[in-house]
């Protein structure tokens, strides 16, 4: 999906932010996996991703129009 030139800097900034801070989520997920098990940790992380996506979808005024 092409990105308009006026939004390109924000998109790249968001991507760099996500890549550079991924280790925080990875360490947290590793700790949770050691505590409750890998399957439960991955199921919880997946549920959190789905829930976050649904919240963003329903609270963002522009997304349903796309």
pLDDT of residue 1: 60
Question: What is the C-alpha separation between 41 and 59, in angstroms, rounded?
Answer: 27
Q: What is the tens place of the pLDDT at every residue in 35-57?
A: 999 999 999 999 999 999 999 98
Instruction: Write out the residue range of the structural domain in which residue 18 sits.
Output: 5-65
Question: What is the C-alpha separation between 58 and 29, in angstroms, rounded?
Answer: 27
Q: How many domains does the chain have?
A: 1
pTM above 0.95, yes or no: no
């Amino acid at each position: 999906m092409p990105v308009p030139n006026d939004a390109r800097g924000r998109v790249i900034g968001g991507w760099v932010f996500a890549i550079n801070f991924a280790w925080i989520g990875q360490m947290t997920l590793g700790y949770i996996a050691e505590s409750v098990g890998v399957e439960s940790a991955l199921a919880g992380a997946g549920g959190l991703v789905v829930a976050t996506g649904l919240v963003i979808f329903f609270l963002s005024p522009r997304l349903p129009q796309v």
